[in-house]
């Protein structure tokens, strides 16, 4: 990765031993500002109150609960007021998480720094550094700003939080700038970045960028500016609630006016309006939504997916594209010794011994650790000299004592470097290089080993650089996670696009992509810079044919997410580093790694994977789809039962008949409707097969066919209820008998709806259906209870008519499920 440096910031600072004076530092601070990389967002209860007040669902629950309280419906009012508690708690949690995320981001930054000021080294607060400062960093310390390395000593850096790659990065000093340049593009191996840490050696860097201009600062700024839009389901429920509330007010006023016009008294008019208001007010919808999201959190946790934002329960089932990290998600995130290729007359054990002699555990390098772990116990050897690996040298050599007056030079390093120092002829070197290229093309990291015996008396203390004996090659790999390839196959078979985003070389990325089945084993790979060029010239259309983005920079991952969203995709992003924070926050579902992810990534993500496995994402998508389907069935039930309830509560009194429902009847019906909507559908089990996903443009909460079924069923039930009421009312105007007939028909229809939509696949569904029918039998046929409810017991023929009518009116719900199943079958056939 190249990064441009405006050289006017480094004017007269080419000398690697020159620092700034206090006056120069003050002048530069006035020009560039303080080195405040992370700025804390507003804190306190006022900020929390402002965030909470922006939630319209909160105001709806508060207003509706107050209305119920004013109408004397204490139970309904209490239910709505209690439903406010989890919403406020969620807002408080999100507000706290923002603070925790900021603290996590700050935790990776240096608090103090050692800089050369006025000719002497001083320890300063990192916030006081300015461009041009010469800063000294030793092993274990974090870099306090972005700068170019002026001097280095065996420098290896941990840049995993910024780049997402787990392996230590070797650094080298910058040689200098060409005369007359005004800016320069400098390779990342000469850079040190804020938020990264020096693992070994020491370094001096010339600060170039501070505060928000650092890469870390840019990421933080994107994260803090990012916001999550309301999900389509939230918008749909809020819209539905608004429409029903407006309609309820208008219809209630109209009904009261009609009753007064018909000559009924003021009390009758008010009772008609209040009863209708109780029937119409849609308090179940937000309560059911909140309840189902809570259930989803629990069900996804059982799938090793910890939900940090409940609305992700909705979105995860609608994902159409996954942008996945490679390391630690698709692969195990380790470096394993996969193959040994010893030279002629050398066995595997000797090859591994030479590699181990040229390795050091104290470096913390994963490659060295893998070699030493495989080599096991070896006879101790005295190390006389070490010539460490650097980006310039591309090799590491150790001089060890093998016996009296006998020394061994053991070398390991980049194959092209080591091979050039051996005594192999050109043909042999070319043959070994071909093997190296073959291994690299399959995603392996390859090193070569060589050695040379030395006579102690003739050794002058330097590093042998010619005439070494070639020992062989070692090939390492980051193995695929168990089940990753199967999970990718299942996702792609379901129409979910998978794009692997990695910092690896395109050759390595292509090999890993082929192994996990991207592009049917022939993945299309583009580099990060090429992605940017094509996005600028061709737009997001070309992404349909892309499987892998290699050498990806942090900003490119966020650009990928936004481009996919603009193209109509619902995007999930996996990440573990600070560099992933903007993409995690900008995605429809951000998924952080729980085992190896940074705190910052976990804090901003909607979901944290407890096992860091791509397979878990696919399982969570299946779970999310089932949860969405369950919620869809619950809402369908609510609409199908509310439509006849509202129609009959409005039309019967508007037609001049006596009131069909009294407030007690509405309470009874709500005691049936609430448990049915909340309990019958939420436990429906997840399907094992991941069905093809529909395009985003085709995704609606209900299809047109399903909306038609909802309307038809609602109207049919309303007709059955009104006909039963009118027939039972008769010439004698037996209101109590007519009410009983209408209520039984409605309750039977409700039970049939619940049984039909749930298919009685859980014991809870069976209990609720039986309890609903049982309540009708008891409340109507037990004379004292019926009298208390202003009802009259029914005859056998009444029950038969009510059951047949309710059953017949609710049977079209089968078409609702058939419609859902037909769409799935058509999508699967198309896939």
Q: Tell me how far apart the alpha carbons of residues 628 and 236 are, in angstroms, rounded to a whole number.
A: 14
Residue 226 is predicted with a pLDDT of 43
DSSP state of 390: -
Report the DSSP beta bridge partners of residue 113: 124
Q: Tell me how far apart the alpha carbons of residues 232 and 221 are, in angstroms, rounded to a whole number.
A: 27
Residue 288 is predicted with a pLDDT of 78
Instruction: Say if pTM beats, i.e. exceeds, 0.85.
Output: no
The architecture that CATH gives domain 232-304+619-830 is: Up-down Bundle (1.20)
Only one residue has tokens 């004292």, namely 784
If the chain, 831 residues long, is cut into consecutive pieces of 10 residues, what is the mean pLDDT of each piece?
Answer: 74 82 91 82 64 60 66 64 68 58 64 91 92 92 91 83 66 72 74 87 91 77 50 65 72 77 71 65 70 72 70 78 84 85 92 92 82 85 87 87 87 93 92 91 88 87 89 91 85 88 84 89 90 87 89 82 89 81 85 70 75 80 81 87 84 80 77 84 67 51 80 91 86 83 92 88 90 93 89 90 84 63 44 42
Q: Tell me how far apart the alpha carbons of residues 149 and 151 are, in angstroms, rounded to a whole number.
A: 6
Extents of the domains making up the chain? 2-38+109-225, 45-106, 232-304+619-830, 316-333+481-612, 336-475
CATH number for the domain formed by residue range(s) 336-475 = 3.40.1110.10
Cβ-proximal residues to 760 (8 Å cutoff; 6+ apart), any chain: 766, 769
Instruction: Let me know if 703 is exposed, middle or buried by CB neighbors in 10 A (0-12, 13-18, 19+).
Output: middle
**Cβ atoms within 10 A of the Cβ of 120, count?**
8
Residue 697 is predicted with a pLDDT of 41
SS (H, E, C) 216-232: HHHHHHHHHHCCCCCCH
Chosen CATH of 2-38+109-225 out of 3.40.50.300, 2.70.150.10, 3.50.50.60, 3.40.50.880 = 2.70.150.10
User: Which DSSP helix (H) or strand (E) runs through 705?
Assistant: helix 704-729
**263 in the Ramachandran plot: left (φ > 0), alpha (ψ -120 to 50) or beta?**
left
Only one residue has tokens 């809870």, namely 764
Residue 743 is predicted with a pLDDT of 92
Angle between helices 74-106 and 284-301 (to 10 degrees): 40
Residue 493 is predicted with a pLDDT of 84
Q: Tell me how far apart the alpha carbons of residues 234 and 402 are, in angstroms, rounded to a whole number.
A: 73
Cβ-proximal residues to 667 (8 Å cutoff; 6+ apart), any chain: 73, 75, 76, 278
**How many residues in the chain?**
831
Report the DSSP beta bridge partners of residue 476: 337, 445
CA distances from 79 to 61, 69, 246, 318, 670 (A): 9, 11, 22, 30, 12
How far is C-alpha 222 from the chain's CA centre?
A: 17
The architecture that CATH gives domain 316-333+481-612 is: 3-Layer(aba) Sandwich (3.40)
Residue 828 is predicted with a pLDDT of 43
């Amino acid at each position: 990765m190249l990064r441009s440096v405006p050289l006017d910031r480094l004017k007269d600072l080419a000398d690697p031993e020159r620092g700034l004076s206090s006056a120069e530092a003050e002048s530069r601070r006035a020009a560039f500002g303080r080195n405040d990389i992370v700025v804390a967002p507003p804190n306190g209860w006022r900020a929390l109150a402002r965030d909470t007040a922006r939630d319209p669902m909160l105001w709806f629950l508060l207003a509706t609960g107050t209305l119920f309280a004013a109408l004397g419906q204490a139970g309904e009012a209490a239910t709505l007021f209690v439903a406010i508690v989890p919403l406020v708690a969620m807002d408080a949690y999100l507000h706290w998480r923002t603070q925790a995320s900021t603290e996590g981001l700050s935790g990776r930054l240096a608090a103090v720094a050692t800089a050369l000021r006025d000719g002497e080294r001083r320890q300063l607060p990192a916030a006081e550094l300015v461009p041009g400062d010469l800063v000294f960093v030793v092993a274990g310390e974090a870099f306090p700003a972005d700068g170019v390395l002026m001097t280095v000593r065996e420098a290896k850096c941990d840049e995993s939080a910024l780049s997402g790659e787990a392996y230590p990065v070797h650094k080298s000093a910058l040689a200098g700038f060409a005369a007359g340049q005004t800016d320069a593009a400098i390779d990342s191996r000469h850079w040190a970045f804020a938020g990264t840490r020096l693992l070994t050696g020491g370094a001096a860097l010339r600060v170039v960028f501070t505060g928000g201009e650092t890469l870390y600062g840019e990421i933080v700024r994107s994260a803090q500016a990012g916001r999550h839009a309301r999900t389509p389901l939230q918008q749909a429920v809020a819209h539905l609630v608004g429409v029903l509330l407006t309609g309820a007010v208008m219809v209630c006023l109209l009904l009261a006016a009609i009753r007064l016009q018909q000559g009924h008294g003021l009390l009758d008019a008010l009772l008609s309006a209040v009863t209708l208001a109780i029937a119409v007010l849609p308090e179940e919808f937000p309560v059911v939504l909140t309840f189902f999201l809570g259930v989803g959190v629990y069900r996804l946790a059982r799938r090793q997916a910890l939900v940090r934002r409940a609305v992700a329960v909705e979105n995860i089932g609608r994902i159409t594209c996954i942008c996945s990290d490679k390391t630690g998600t698709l692969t195990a995130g380790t470096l394993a010794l996969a193959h040994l290729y010893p030279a002629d007359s050398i066995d595997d054990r000797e090859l591994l011994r030479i590699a181990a002699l040229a390795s050091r555990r104290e470096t913390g390098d994963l490659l060295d650790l893998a070699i030493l772990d495989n080599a096991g116990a070896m006879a101790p050897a005295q190390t006389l000299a070490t010539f460490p690996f650097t980006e310039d040298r591309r090799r590491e050599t150790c001089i060890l004592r093998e016996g009296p007056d006998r020394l061994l030079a053991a070398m390991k390093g980049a194959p092209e470097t080591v091979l050039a120092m051996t005594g192999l002829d050109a043909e042999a070197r070319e043959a070994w290089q071909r093997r190296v290229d073959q291994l690299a093309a399959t995603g392996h990291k390859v090193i070569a080993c060589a050695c040379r015996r030395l006579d102690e008396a003739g050794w002058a203390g330097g590093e042998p650089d010619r005439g070494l004996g070639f020992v062989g090659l070692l090939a390492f790999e980051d193995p695929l996670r168990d089940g990753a390839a199967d999970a990718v196959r299942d996702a792609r078979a379901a129409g979910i696009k998978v794009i692997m985003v990695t910092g690896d070389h395109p050759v390595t990325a292509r090999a890993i992509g082929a192994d996990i089945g991207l592009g049917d084993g022939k993945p299309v790979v583009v580099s990060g810079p090429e992605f940017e060029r094509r996005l600028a010239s061709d737009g997001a259309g070309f992404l349909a044919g892309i499987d892998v983005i290699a050498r990806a920079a942090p900003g490119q991952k966020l650009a990928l997410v936004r481009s996919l969203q603009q193209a109509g995709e619902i995007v999930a992003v996996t990440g573990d580093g600070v560099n992933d924070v903007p993409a995690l926050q900008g995605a429809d579902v951000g998924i952080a790694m729980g085992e190896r992810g940074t705190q910052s990534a976990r804090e901003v993500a909607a979901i944290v994977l407890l096992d860091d496995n791509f397979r878990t994402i696919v399982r969570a998508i299946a779970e999310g789809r089932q949860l969405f389907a369950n919620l869809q069935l619950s809402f369908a039930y609510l609409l199908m039962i509310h439509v006849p309830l509202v129609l009959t509560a409005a039309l019967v009194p508007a037609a001049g008949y006596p009131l069909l429902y009294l407030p007690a009847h509405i309470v009874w019906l709500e005691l049936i409707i609430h448990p049915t909507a909340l309990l019958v559908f939420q436990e429906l089990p997840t399907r094992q097969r991941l069905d093809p996903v529909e395009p985003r443009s085709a995704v609606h909460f209900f299809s047109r066919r399903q909306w038609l079924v909802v309307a038809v069923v609602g109207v049919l039930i309303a007709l059955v209820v009104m006909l039963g009421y009118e027939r039972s009312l008769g010439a004698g105007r037996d209101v109590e008998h007519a009410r009983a007939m209408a209520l039984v028909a409605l309750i039977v229809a409700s039970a049939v709806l619940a049984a039909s939509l749930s298919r009685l696949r859980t014991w809870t569904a069976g209990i609720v259906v039986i309890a609903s029918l049982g309540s009708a039998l008891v409340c109507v046929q037990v004379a004292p209870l019926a009298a208390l409810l202003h009802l009259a017991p029914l005859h056998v023929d009444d029950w038969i008519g009510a059951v047949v009518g309710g059953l017949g009116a609710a049977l079209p719900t089968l078409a609702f499920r058939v419609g859902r199943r037909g769409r799935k079958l058509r999508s699967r056939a198309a896939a």
